[in-house]
Amino acid sequence: MEVIEKTDRMQQKAEELRLAGKVLGFVPTMGFFHEGHLELMRVAKRHCDVVIISLFVNPMQFGPKEDLAAYPRDLEGDLAKARQVGVDIAFVPTVDQIYPEGFESRVSVEKVTKHLCGLSRPTHFDGVTTVVAKLFNITKPHLAVFGQKDYQQLTVIRRMVNDLNMDLRILGVPTHREPDGLAMSSRNSYLNSEERKSALCLKKSLDLAREMVGKGERRSAAIKKAVEEFVRSHPYTQVDYVSLCDPVTLDDVDPLRGETLLALAVRVGKTRLIDNCVLGKSEKR
């Protein structure tokens, strides 16, 4: 596996590979790998000749009061894991490489960024789309792979790629979970053992909602109330949002019709966790 730190070197390498006829797959990450990240890399490997990952904790997507400084990092461990799953190139830029002096451009998606996480993280998605657009230009992929765990992020990226005619395909991969159901996240490392137990309420509340829908409930308010009450019955939790919305526009829906995204964000202690599922379609639990 080649480790590349410089933007121009990465761009040159990607161009060479393209000219040699290789199909390039790309997985952008902020590192501190768990199985969910590795799964995205395996999926990219199955679809492409060359897999490029990026490891970059992007300051632009963190709000002033968020966990940029505390964000967990383990570069050597991450590189070893990536090597094991057969990644070909790890792009590991410094902040200066991505945001050199004088940098002043933004890529902004207007509407789907305003819902869900956009309500409490108003600048977050501009940070995501700006860095992802840059990373696409630097790594020149034919395919980029993202996790459905960050459902809104995936939606925003798809919107950006469509709107700006970016010439690549976006693939979403189902959420990878711990054996007890907790969605894997680098931020799970912040949880103490009591909080870890409470954190299970996210996945369990999705199951509860699915059960209600299975029994015929279609009223958004009733489902939201049940989910919120269930989450609140667990210690250390604070609901940020529970949303039932259209899986493409993320606009609220009421009553439920066809496929509906149930997305939630919950603070467990100081850690903000998210999870989601699409209700109204037959999917594995």
Kindly list the residues in this chain that would bind ligand AMP in the complex (CB under 6 A): 29-30, 36-37, 39-40, 146-147, 149-150, 173, 175-176, 183-186
C-alpha 244 chain-centroid distance: 19
- Closer to ligand AMP by CB, 62 or 256: give it: 62
For 215, residues 6+ apart whose C-beta sits below 8 A from its C-beta are none
Q: Are 138 and 7 in contact (CB under 8 A)?
A: yes
Please give the torsion angle defined by the CA atoms of residues 123, 37, 141 and 60, in that order, rounded to the nearest 10 degrees: 20
Q: Shortest gap between Cβ of 197 and ligand AMP (angstroms)?
A: 19
Q: Which of 109, 189, 117 is nearest to 157 (CA)?
A: 109
- Closer to ligand AMP by CB, 51 or 184: give it: 184
For 261, residues 6+ apart whose C-beta sits below 8 A from its C-beta are 151, 243, 244, 245, 246, 247, 250, 276, 277, 278, 279
C-alpha 266 chain-centroid distance: 16
Q: Shortest gap between Cβ of 184 and ligand AMP (angstroms)?
A: 4
For 161, residues 6+ apart whose C-beta sits below 8 A from its C-beta are 168, 170
Q: What is the DSSP string of 22-77?
A: PPEEEEEE-S---HHHHHHHHHHHHH-SEEEEEE---GGGS-TTSSTTT----HHH
Q: Shortest gap between Cβ of 282 and ligand AMP (angstroms)?
A: 20
Tell me the sheet residues that pair with 245: 252, 261
Instruction: Quote the CA–CA distance of 174 and 39 in Å, as a whole number.
Output: 9
Q: Which of 34, 37, 47, 124 is catalytic?
A: 37
For 184, residues 6+ apart whose C-beta sits below 8 A from its C-beta are 34, 35, 36, 149, 175, 176, 177, 178
- Closer to ligand AMP by CB, 3 or 221: give it: 3
- Closer to ligand AMP by CB, 113 or 185: give it: 185
34 is catalytic: no
Instruction: Quote the CA–CA distance of 218 and 244 in Å, as a whole number.
Output: 11
- Closer to ligand AMP by CB, 85 or 223: give it: 85
Q: Shortest gap between Cβ of 225 and ligand AMP (angstroms)?
A: 27
- Closer to ligand AMP by CB, 113 or 186: give it: 186
Structural tokens at position 208: 């509860």
> Active-site residues: which are they?
37
